[in-house]
């Protein structure tokens, strides 16, 4: 699998188009919510495919992100966050930056792969806020962006640290002598 | 190759026979899967009643297979104590549990894989020569480089070492070697080979489980014979392509399963009326509707025999074992060509997908030979009324043989007609073709004598045969009659086969007893008839049939 | 093609002795005429030609042509023709039928036959109605045509068979009018000669259920522009024409279907050996 | 209107009953045609054995009809001596020939037409009041203007005048008037009306002879009820549209004939598995394949009963007369809805297209009522296992009832399952639904008592009834059992019906004896069974059945 | 649309509790996500939505959506959807499935559903392969893609579903990429809202049999030009694009299917009277 980003050509604007603190917070919140959704989905997939180790790991990651999501809402306080529709997003890429890339999932994947996935997600989130810091429309936005950016940086560090515990699996990790099955 | 494949081939190379089936979960890939193997020193055509050895990679979703994998107190279960809780059904079976630190062993070998360990453990227990397995590894993984070969060998060896530690292990009887190289083949492959042996050189295909493999076997191999396979847009197209190819004089086939057969019936009726030979293999799966595509059932008997609209006599055959798929398909091509009518071959998921070791099959004489009209002089009458009912067929290219094949009722020339006389004449002719044909002894396999006869067909045959043999050993005389020709019926042949028989036990894998009803409708049976019919997905086991026999004796 | 060595044939050599059941005045008589003339011009021996159809008034045509014929079931003529041509590449295969047969029940085979681009010629006698079953609307029927089955009309915009043919990959696309047998013959000759899948829509009036179609002879007109080999251009042109534009509208140069590796290099005994362990 | 139509309606208005069928040549339009009429002062459901009057416009291709139109020495044949040579079969019949200068008479009247002359001659001979015919002319041609009306009247009158010159003319028995206005209806129209009475509000259509008229009747009339008919692209679409409409909670129907039914079987199987009620009327024609589309046959019994792949229990019914098309179609809608399963109604070309005079049918109580799930709380289980086998169905729009209807085998919730237990449970449930249902007395029409029973179905019933009545008059006690419910079988009801019966004569219009085979397979019959089966295109005549009865008594 | 009165829905309200059997990595997971998001944005009550499919991996989607669902037989989803919508015009009907289901066996219904222009939305998860049956070429597969059933490739040029949709009369035609769920959601919202037949092709990689399709994310690109309501223009554009052009490519304004005269003006007793003499 190539290491390039899940971004590619998108017609949607990037974070530089975010106009207000409320909009920024709404995006930050969606980032976490989508991340939760993805990790849960991946956990489900791994459960269905009998990869229980990974199911547990993804479930745990989902838990972390859920915690972050809650935090953002708390920190937003009484600010009324706009409800974003898919056409309102300003990711500058296909997906919310912290959403794990579903297309990279594999039923034989190892914790190393999962953490690589998480790492790329955190890095994308970092890049998103980093860009916002550069293009923030006002100081308050900039302040929030910096805070989020630092948090993501911290997450990147955490995941990197975790990764040291898991060696990269052998090249043929995805090889499966069992053929796919014919259904229906 | 999977562990099952390695073991089957290693056993075959060492002189044993064997049978392998697979069972899988609903996931497309990466789901739970089980390979079920049975070895013997004579041919085996039916899965084991219960298993001697269960090697477990993990217990996840084992329940899905528990109905298929019978364990007894004799069974050796080898599993990693870390691979999860042992399912209740396993505990209850009283099987002997052997702990093996699978993960740990694999972890210690670079590139160590569960399939190789399983191969080693099971190979070790049953006493397959380790060198044969090494040979196989070399043959199959050699291209991946020495490292892969060595790690596989090491893993297998670890398995053998573990096997040595086990006590009271079951061992295989002495192998029976043979001069000729044995074959490993699935029923679907055998059907493909049978088709081309029978003369098929054209096929049309629309994939469907579990018939696809026949088509996938034919795709490259027909080309090698100068023939062709076309992938069609749907089954309506594939059956009509087959009719078109055959109208051109080229014996033609398609393979499908129940839903596809249902789509084809209108046009199979066309082949009946227009008298165009063709062969349709229906690899049956659980019905109705989409049903259970990955599991076996014999419930397409009704549609195969009765599923065409109008009175449309045609041929229905059924292979009675994995290897018989070769003979029956070849024979069906021959029958279809000889009688210029469609033949439906009822195989099923079990015999289609099971892999088996067999002695190389003999060359059979049946090759499709159509009665052709050549050197035509005067008015050509495509549907001329003949004694046999078969009319010489002109194929395109033959001068003077121009005619229009028609699904409308017609007169002998082929011109549409609504006259009662033409209708009756052509109906009689089309029926006579197939009821008056000499099918020889192939219409059924008949074994033994007795006042009680087991009457069965298709993939139930092997189980019935084992049951009958067991009954004989227990002193009960039982006759076995397994029909290979399902339709038309041969009342005289059956009457002869039933001479002296007072009781008939009909065995089949359906919910409604389709075969029993069909026999009742079409044959004179002794007054005492019992019907043992169980739908899929589980294959009927010899012991079930045996207990039916015992109950009734 | 062996046209240069073949003996000279007359149109009547391609006519059978069976008299059509068509209504007097039916456009299909003209089509029959044009088909036999085209075959005579091509000089292909009658026994080397096969004419395959489905069910409908128009689908009765095989019996009236003195070639090999197959009157199949409704909507499945193209698969029969396809199987025949792949099994017997030496034959000239014509497939013929109606708009109901070809575009309604047979619509899927139509698309896929175009895509497969096998060297056959498909002739649709389009009368914008189901003639044989007594006048129901077909896919090419005008939205407001009243009938028992669709009182007040279907309200559906008609199907564009030529665009579909192009979009699906047919290699030759033409429209003619049965009442112009010379031009029709010409087009059929070209269609049969052209490699790959050729599609010819022949506007052929049904005088019984669509007596208004007698008026077609006054509205058909020759395509104003040159034929093209650019499918996108051709499609655009056809999508915007009035449906009465007559002529060869597209003559492509896609390679016709060919199965590779089809040489007898093995025998069945050798194939069996693959199972030996 | 044709002469036949005028005569039938005039007779009906005057208090007679009657039946009209038509026979035509292969030409699409303008070919030879014959209208066959039978009048009586009680209801007639079967064409005449032989004809009293033959009015000939011309003799061209008369041979085509000669097998259908039995002439006797009593028959009056009225023909123009200039209309060609009298066919041999007519001469041989010994029929009485009466010359009429048809062309000359018509030539003398401006706008004189043969149909009016025929109406006049026949009306005159049998004694229909001429005023009734004038009335009809006014009603039907009034809109064409006075000139047309007058010339028609004049032509009719000329016919009456000619009739007066004839001696020994047959006359009708006294008419039986009624207070209520009688109906003139065809079986196909009756089926359409039955459908909407049963609650059908959605139909999908693909035209096919001879089913089209049902669809053409429904097209405008469903709209008037707020319903809809969609013309589909083919039968695969029409059956699936019907399933879709019914899944939406709207009772739905389609009509077709053999070739169309063949295309529908795969999806009818879906309706079985997914438990979606729907009704398919198959107006049978001569088979196999395209066969003889304009003629009747009962040879789709097999495909209707056995034509679905897998074990797919469903309902098959058959109207036993033209007018019973109304009752049976309505009842079938009721059955399908009650049991949430498809019902195939086997009508045929004869009863579908024959036009008949009947007393206005009573209002029948059967209106489709589906067991619906409403006010759903907790987890909804679409395929919950119930005692009756019928599970409450949630239709879209009902909150909490969301589920996925599935043709894959499933568990009670509808989730796909390959488990043996789920398969067995759902198979049992689907079978139980239809075998455990209380069909009341409608499953068969039973008439009389006797040791000999005629067992028949569908359009053979009327002929059988006449035969049985004739036999009784001849002193032979015969029982008639005509099945309206073809499938499922009701063994207890049949056993009761067969009490005291020692011999069974099975009568049907097929080549292979499909009905007889079906009965043998599914029922316990007395040991003496004879099967009288004749394929189409000719309808079976009462005298044929009578002679079978006499032969055996 | 009742969005303004409906309570606010979350995407998760449209997800059922059944876990997909799809391979991890399969594009269809993304499609499921987008469909549930689109429904939430539209705010239609789950019980007022029906999702109909055929057979294939992609066709498993109804069970995963918490709406009414129908998992029919292979290739017949559109007729089921059509029957449902005509019988129950009050429902929102989505029809979904694969390229094999929709363009091969179901190709005829596809054309005719476009032509009929009933107000339903048809979503095809196009992975250019038959996933469920282990990797055979579909109509959209590249000609040189090697497989067991077509060794060396089919040699056939792929089918252009969007052109066919246009030519057949679909009223809304779009292409999206599963890996771009936001854009896909947006397009689906528009498709469902647009009256008449809307067709959305979603490029959805099959990671098991077409692992190369993971690379699609690098090649898809946004349609360079504005959407159009001129079918001929749209067709030409699509016929010449590279198949990876993403966006709403046609938004027509043909009136959706409507049966005239469908008002309960009679009852069955009255209808019976027509037979009285
Ligand atoms: C499976 C099936 N469905 C329906 C029919 C009935 N049918 C016969 S011809 C026909 C339509 C003919 O229309 P078309 O193809 O346009 O031919 P035309 O008669 O107009 O030349 C139909 C619906 C049939 N024979 N078989
Ligand atoms: C009548 C019939 N024919 C064939 C099949 C087998 N079949 C099941 S799914 C499928 C193709 C699926 O391909 P696609 O629609 O592209 O879906 P995917 O799995 O790729 O999502 C086929 C051929 C069937 N179920 N029924
Ligand atoms: S009904 Fe129409 S199409 Fe058929 S033969 Fe008559 S005129 Fe021709
Ligand atoms: S086989 Fe392909 S399409 Fe099917 S679930 Fe797996 S990745 Fe998806
Ligand atoms: Mg037509
Ligand atoms: Mg696909």
Q: Does residue B33 carry a pLDDT above 50?
A: yes
* Residue A101's pLDDT band (cuts 50, 70, 90): very high
SS3 annotation, E119-142: CCEEEEEECCCECCCCCECCCCCC
What is the ipTM score, two decimals?
A: 0.97
- Test mutation, E75, E101, E107, chain C, max C CBs within 10 A: E107
Atom of ligand 4 nearest to the CA of E57: 4
- Test mutation, A3, A101, A102, chain E, max E CBs within 10 A: A102
3-state secondary structure of B157: helix
- Distances from the Cα of E268 to the Cα of B390, D27, D191, D193, D197, angstroms: 54, 37, 13, 8, 6
Give residue E262's pLDDT: 92
Q: What is the pTM of this model?
A: 0.97
Q: Do E150 and B231 touch (CB under 8 A)?
A: yes
Q: How many A from CA of E99 to the centre of ligand 6? A: 5
Positive or negative, the Cα torsion across B41, B45, B51, B53? Answer: positive
Please list all protein residues whose beta carbon sits less than 5 angstroms from ligand 6, which is an ion: E 98-100, 127
Give the minimum alpha-carbon distance from D228 to chain E in angstroms, rounded to a whole number. 7
**Which chain D residues are within 8 Å of B517, Cβ to Cβ?**
521-522
Among residues 12-31 of chain E, which lie with CB inside 8 Å of chain A? 12, 19-25, 27, 29-30
- Residue identifier of the C-alpha nearest atom 11 of ligand 1: C130
Asked which of D293-302, D360-369, E31-40 is least confident by mean pLDDT, the reply is: D360-369
Task: Give tens-digit pLDDT for D89-104.
Answer: 999 999 999 999 999 9
Q: Does residue C222 carry a pLDDT above 50?
A: yes
Ligand 2: does its nearest atom lie under 6 Å from the Cβ of B259? yes
Q: Is the peptide bond before E91 cis (omega within 30 degrees of 0)?
A: no
Q: Does residue A6 carry a pLDDT above 60?
A: no
Positive or negative, the Cα torsion across E66, E71, E75, E78? Answer: negative
* Residue C4's pLDDT band (cuts 50, 70, 90): low
Domain limits, chain B: 2-164, 184-358, 371-437, 441-551
Q: Are strands B355-358 and B183-186 parallel, antiparallel or unpaired?
A: antiparallel
Domain limits, chain A: 18-163
Instruction: For the domain made up of D2-164, give the CATH fold.
Output: Pyruvate-ferredoxin Oxidoreductase; domain 3 (3.40.920)
Residues B11 and B125: their CA atoms lie apart, in Å, by: 13
Q: Does residue A2 carry a pLDDT above 80?
A: no
Q: Do A184 and B290 touch (CB under 8 A)?
A: yes
Instruction: For the domain made up of D441-551, give the CATH fold.
Output: Rossmann fold (3.40.50)
Give residue A9's pLDDT: 64
Four-CA torsion B456, B457, B460, B462, nearest 10 degrees = 90
Query: Which ligand has the shortest distance to the CA of C58?
Result: 1
Interchain contact C/A (3 or more Cβ pairs less than 8 Å): no
Q: Which residue of E has its CA nearest to C231?
A: E239
Ligand 3: does its nearest atom lie under 6 Å from the Cβ of C98? no
Say which of C152, C168, C240 has its CB closest to residue E232: C240
Residues contacting ligand 4 via CB (< 6 Å): B 28; E 22-23, 26, 28, 57, 127, 131, 206-209
Give residue B84's pLDDT: 85
For a mutational test of ligand 1's pocket, the pick from D260, D261, D293, i.e. the residue with the most ligand atoms closer than 8 A to its C-beta, is D260
Give residue E6's pLDDT: 42
Q: Do B309 and D295 touch (CB under 8 A)?
A: no
Give residue C5's pLDDT: 54
Q: Does residue C1 carry a pLDDT above 50?
A: no
Q: How many A from CA of C127 to the centre of ligand 5? A: 5
* Residue C2's pLDDT band (cuts 50, 70, 90): very low
Q: Does residue B311 carry a pLDDT above 60?
A: yes
Write out the two tokens for A145. Answer: 């962006």
* Residue D334's pLDDT band (cuts 50, 70, 90): very high
Mean pLDDT computed over A29-40: 95
Residue E69 lies inside a defined structural domain of this protein: yes
Residues B419 and A67: their CA atoms lie apart, in Å, by: 84
Cβ neighbours of residue D438 closer than 8 Å, sequence gap 6 or more: none
CATH superfamily of this structure's domain B184-358: Thiamin diphosphate (ThDP)-binding fold, Pyr/PP domains (3.40.50.970)
Question: What's the CATH number where C92 sits?
Answer: 3.40.50.970
Asked which of B86-90, C149-153, D23-27 is least confident by mean pLDDT, the reply is: D23-27
Please list all protein residues whose beta carbon sits less than 5 angstroms from ligand 5, which is an ion: C 98-100, 127
Q: How many CB pairs under 8 A join D and E?
A: 193
Is the model more confident about D206 or about B141?
A: D206
Asked which of A69-78, D464-473, E106-115 is least confident by mean pLDDT, the reply is: A69-78
Give the minimum alpha-carbon distance from B4 to chain A in angstroms, rounded to a whole number. 10
Q: What total number of domains does chain E contain? A: 1
D83: how many CB neighbours lie within 10 A of its CB?
16
Give residue B328's pLDDT: 98
Give residue A176's pLDDT: 86
* Rounded (10°) angle between helices C231-240 and E231-240: 170
Nearest to C15 by CA among C35, C42, C43, C1: C35
Residues C148 and C134: their CA atoms lie apart, in Å, by: 10
Q: Does residue B216 carry a pLDDT above 60?
A: yes
Q: Do B514 and D311 touch (CB under 8 A)?
A: yes
Q: Which residue of E has its CA nearest to B209?
A: E133
Mean pLDDT computed over C157-167: 93
Atom of ligand 1 nearest to the CA of D263: 1
Give residue B456's pLDDT: 98
Q: Do B219 and E148 touch (CB under 8 A)?
A: yes
Q: With contact defined as beta carbons under 8 Å apart, do D359 and D180 qualify?
A: yes
How many CA atoms are closer than 13 Å to the CA of A183, on its beta-carbon side? 25
Cβ neighbours of residue B92 closer than 8 Å, sequence gap 6 or more: none
Q: Are strands B278-284 and B252-256 parallel, antiparallel or unpaired?
A: parallel
SS3 annotation, B30-65: CCCEEEEEEEECCCCCCCCCCCCEEEECCCCCCHHH
Task: Give tens-digit pLDDT for C64-99.
Answer: 999 999 999 999 999 999 999 999 999 999 999 999
**Vertex B147 angle, CA B146 and B148, to 5°:** 95
Q: How many A from CA of E118 to the centre of ligand 2? A: 25
Residues of B with CB under 8 A from a CB of E: 26-31, 205-209, 212, 215-216, 219-220, 223, 229, 231, 233-235, 259, 289-290
For a mutational test of ligand 2's pocket, the pick from E22, E27, E74, i.e. the residue with the most ligand atoms closer than 8 A to its C-beta, is E74
Nearest to A51 by CA among B31, B118, E57: B31
Asked which of B223-227, D319-323, D518-522, E218-222 is least confident by mean pLDDT, the reply is: E218-222
Task: Give tens-digit pLDDT for D103-147.
Answer: 999 999 999 999 999 999 999 999 999 999 999 999 999 999 999
Q: With contact defined as beta carbons under 8 Å apart, do D511 and D299 qualify?
A: yes
Query: Which ligand has the shortest distance to the CA of B263?
Result: 2
Q: How many CB pairs under 8 A join B and D?
A: 224
Give residue D482's pLDDT: 98
User: So what CATH class is A18-163?
Assistant: mainly alpha
Q: Do C235 and E261 touch (CB under 8 A)?
A: no
Residue E1 lies inside a defined structural domain of this protein: no
Residue C88 lies inside a defined structural domain of this protein: yes
Strand partners for C200: C123, C174
Helices (H) and strands (E) in chain C, counts: 10, 8
Atom of ligand 4 nearest to the CA of E56: 4
Give residue C3's pLDDT: 46
3-state secondary structure of E70: strand
**Which chain B residues are within 8 Å of C259, Cβ to Cβ?**
223, 228, 230
* End-to-end alpha carbon distance in chain A: 30
Give residue E3's pLDDT: 34
Write out the two tokens for D544. Answer: 């044929």
Q: With contact defined as beta carbons under 8 Å apart, do B14 and B126 qualify?
A: no
Cβ neighbours of residue A152 closer than 8 Å, sequence gap 6 or more: A98, A122, A123, A125, A126, A129
Give residue C7's pLDDT: 57
* Residue D543's pLDDT band (cuts 50, 70, 90): very high
Mean pLDDT computed over D363-379: 92
Q: What percent of chain B has pLDDT over 70?
A: 100
Strand partners for D278: D342
Low-confidence ranges of chain E (pLDDT < 50): 1-6
Residues B201 and B278: their CA atoms lie apart, in Å, by: 11
Residue E17 lies inside a defined structural domain of this protein: no
Q: Do D399 and E90 touch (CB under 8 A)?
A: no
Nearest to E39 by CA among E1, E5, E71, E77: E1
**Which chain C residues are within 8 Å of E240, Cβ to Cβ?**
232
Q: How many A from CA of A176 to the centre of ligand 4? A: 16
Burial class (CB in 10 A: 0-12, 13-18, 19+), E45: middle
Query: Which ligand has the shortest distance to the CA of E104?
Result: 2
Residues C146 and B522: their CA atoms lie apart, in Å, by: 51
Q: Does residue D293 carry a pLDDT above 70?
A: yes
Ligand 3: does its nearest atom lie under 6 Å from the Cβ of C65? no
Atom of ligand 1 nearest to the CA of D207: 23
Q: Does residue C177 carry a pLDDT above 90?
A: yes
Residue E207 lies inside a defined structural domain of this protein: yes
E111 touches C: beta carbon within 8 Å:
yes
Give residue D1's pLDDT: 67
Same fold, D184-358 and D441-551: yes
Q: What percent of chain B has pLDDT over 90?
A: 91
Task: Give tens-digit pLDDT for C5-55.
Answer: 555 899 999 999 999 999 999 999 999 999 999 999 999 999 999 999 999
Task: Give tens-digit pLDDT for D234-279.
Answer: 999 999 999 999 999 999 999 999 999 999 999 999 999 999 999 9
Give the minimum alpha-carbon distance from B510 to chain C in angstroms, rounded to a whole number. 32
E159: domain range? 26-274
Q: Neighbours of C (≥3 Cβ pairs closer than 8 A)?
A: B, D, E
Query: Which ligand has the shortest distance to the CA of B256?
Result: 2
Residue E54 lies inside a defined structural domain of this protein: yes
- Test mutation, E268, E269, E270, E274, chain D, max D CBs within 10 A: E268
E149 touches C: beta carbon within 8 Å:
no
Residue E132 lies inside a defined structural domain of this protein: yes
Q: With contact defined as beta carbons under 8 Å apart, do C28 and C61 qualify?
A: yes
Give residue C223's pLDDT: 79
Q: With contact defined as beta carbons under 8 Å apart, do B11 and B357 qualify?
A: yes
Task: Give tens-digit pLDDT for B400-443.
Answer: 999 999 999 999 999 999 999 999 999 999 999 999 999 999 99
Ligand 3: does its nearest atom lie under 6 Å from the Cβ of C97? no
Q: Which residue of D has its CA nearest to C140?
A: D233
Cβ neighbours of residue D121 closer than 8 Å, sequence gap 6 or more: D55, D78, D100, D159, D160, D162, D163
């Amino acid at each position: 699998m190539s290491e390039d980003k899940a971004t590619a050509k998108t017609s949607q604007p990037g974070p530089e188009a975010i106009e207000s603190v409320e909009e920024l917070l709404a995006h930050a919140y969606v980032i976490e919510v989508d991340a939760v959704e993805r990790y849960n989905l991946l956990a489900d997939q791994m459960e269905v495919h009998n990869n229980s180790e990974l199911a547990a790991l993804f479930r745990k990651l989902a838990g972390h992100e859920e915690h972050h999501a809650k935090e953002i809402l708390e920190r937003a306080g009484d600010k009324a966050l706009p409800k974003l529709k898919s056409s309102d997003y300003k990711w500058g890429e296909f997906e919310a930056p912290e959403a794990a890339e579903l297309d990279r999932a594999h039923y034989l994947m190892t914790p190393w792969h999962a953490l690589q996935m998480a790492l790329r997600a955190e890095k994308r989130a970092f890049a998103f806020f980093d860009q916002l810091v550069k293009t923030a429309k006002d100081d308050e936005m900039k302040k929030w962006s910096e805070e989020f950016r630092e948090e993501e940086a911290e997450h990147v560090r955490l995941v990197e640290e975790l990764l040291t515990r898991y060696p990269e699996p052998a090249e043929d990790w995805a090889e499966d002598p069992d053929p796919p099955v014919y259904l229906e | 190759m999977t562990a099952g494949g390695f073991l089957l081939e290693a056993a075959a190379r060492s002189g044993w026979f064997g049978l392998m089936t697979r069972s899988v979960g609903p996931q497309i890939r990466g789901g739970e899967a089980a390979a079920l193997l049975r070895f013997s020193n004579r041919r085996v055509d039916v899965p084991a009643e219960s298993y001697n050895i269960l090697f477990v990679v993990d217990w996840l979703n084992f329940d899905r297979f528990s109905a298929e994998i019978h364990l007894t107190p004799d069974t050796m279960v080898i599993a990693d104590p870390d691979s999860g809780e042992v399912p209740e059904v396993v505990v209850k079976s009283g099987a002997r549990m052997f702990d093996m630190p699978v993960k740990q062993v694999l972890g210690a070998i670079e590139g160590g894989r569960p399939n190789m360990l399983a191969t080693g453990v099971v190979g070790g227990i049953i006493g397959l020569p380790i060198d044969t397995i090494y040979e196989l590894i070399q043959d199959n993984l050699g291209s991946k480089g020495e490292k892969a070969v060595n790690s596989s060998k090491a893993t297998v060896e670890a398995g053998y070492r573990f096997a040595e530690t086990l006590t009271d292990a079951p061992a295989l009887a002495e192998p029976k070697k043979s001069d000729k190289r044995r074959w490993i083949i699935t029923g679907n492959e055998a059907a493909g080979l049978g088709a081309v042996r029978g003369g098929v050189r054209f096929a049309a295909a629309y994939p469907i489980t579990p018939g696809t493999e026949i088509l996938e076997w034919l795709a490259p191999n027909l080309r090698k014979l100068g023939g062709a396979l076309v992938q069609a847009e749907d089954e309506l197209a594939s059956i009509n392509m087959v009719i078109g190819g055959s109208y051109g004089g080229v014996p033609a086939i398609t393979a499908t399963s129940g839903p596809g057969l249902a789509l084809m019936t209108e046009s199979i009726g066309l082949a009946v009326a227009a008298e165009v030979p063709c062969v349709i293999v229906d690899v049956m799966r659980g019905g109705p509707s989409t049903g259970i595509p990955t599991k076996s059932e014999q419930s397409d008997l009704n549609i195969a025999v009765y599923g065409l609209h109008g009175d449309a006599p045609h041929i229905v055959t059924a292979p009675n074992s994995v290897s018989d798929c070769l003979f029956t398909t070849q024979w069906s091509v021959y029958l279809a060509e000889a009688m210029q009518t469609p033949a439906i071959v009822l195989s099923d998921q079990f015999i289609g997908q099971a892999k088996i070791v067999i002695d190389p099959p003999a060359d059979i004489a049946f090759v499709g030979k159509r009665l052709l009209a050549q050197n035509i002089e005067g008015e050509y009458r495509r549907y001329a009324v003949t004694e046999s009912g078969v009319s010489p067929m002109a194929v395109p290219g033959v001068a003077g043989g121009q005619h229009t094949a028609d699904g409308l009722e017609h007169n002998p020339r082929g011109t549409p007609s609504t006259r009662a006389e033409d209708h009756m004449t052509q109906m009689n002719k089309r029926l006579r073709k197939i009821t008056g044909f000499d099918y020889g002894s192939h219409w059924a396999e008949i074994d033994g004598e007795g006042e009680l006869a087991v009457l069965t067909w298709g993939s139930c045959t092997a189980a019935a045969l084992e049951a009958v043999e067991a009954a004989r050993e227990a002193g009960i005389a039982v006759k076995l009659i397994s029909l290979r020709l399902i339709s038309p019926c041969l009342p005289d042949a059956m009457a002869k086969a039933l001479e002296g028989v007072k009781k008939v036990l009909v065995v089949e894998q359906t919910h409604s007893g389709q075969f029993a009803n069909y026999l009742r409708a079409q044959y004179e049976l002794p007054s005492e008839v019992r019907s043992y019919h169980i739908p899929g997905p589980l294959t009927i086991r010899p012991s079930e049939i045996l207990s039916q026999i015992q109950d009734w004796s | 093609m062996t046209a240069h060595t073949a003996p000279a044939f007359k149109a009547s050599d391609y006519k059978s002795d069976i008299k059509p059941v068509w209504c007097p005045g039916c456009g299909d008589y003209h089509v029959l005429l044009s088909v036999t003339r085209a075959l005579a011009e091509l000089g292909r021996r009658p026994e080397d030609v096969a004419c395959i159809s489905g069910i409908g008034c128009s689908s009765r045509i095989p019996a009236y042509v003195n070639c090999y014929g197959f009157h199949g079931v409704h909507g499945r003529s193209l698969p029969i023709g396809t199987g025949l041509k792949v099994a017997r590449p030496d034959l000239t295969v014509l497939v013929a039928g109606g708009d109901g047969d070809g575009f309604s029940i047979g619509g899927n085979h139509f698309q896929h036959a175009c895509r497969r681009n096998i060297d056959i010629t498909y002739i649709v006698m389009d009368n914008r109605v189901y003639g044989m079953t007594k006048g129901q609307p077909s896919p090419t029927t005008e939205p407001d045509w009243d009938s028992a089955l669709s009182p007040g009309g279907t309200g559906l915009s008609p199907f564009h068979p030529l665009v579909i043919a192009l979009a699906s990959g047919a290699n030759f696309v033409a429209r003619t009018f049965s009442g112009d047998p010379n031009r029709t013959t010409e087009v059929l000759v070209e269609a049969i000669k052209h490699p790959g899948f050729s599609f010819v829509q022949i506007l052929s009036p049904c005088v019984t259920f669509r007596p208004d179609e007698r008026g077609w002879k006054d509205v058909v007109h020759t395509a104003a522009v040159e034929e093209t080999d650019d499918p996108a251009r051709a499609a655009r042109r056809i999508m915007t024409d009035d449906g009465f534009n007559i002529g060869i509208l597209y003559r492509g140069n896609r390679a016709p279907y060919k199965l590779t590796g089809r040489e007898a290099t093995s025998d069945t005994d050798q194939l069996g050996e693959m199972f030996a362990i």
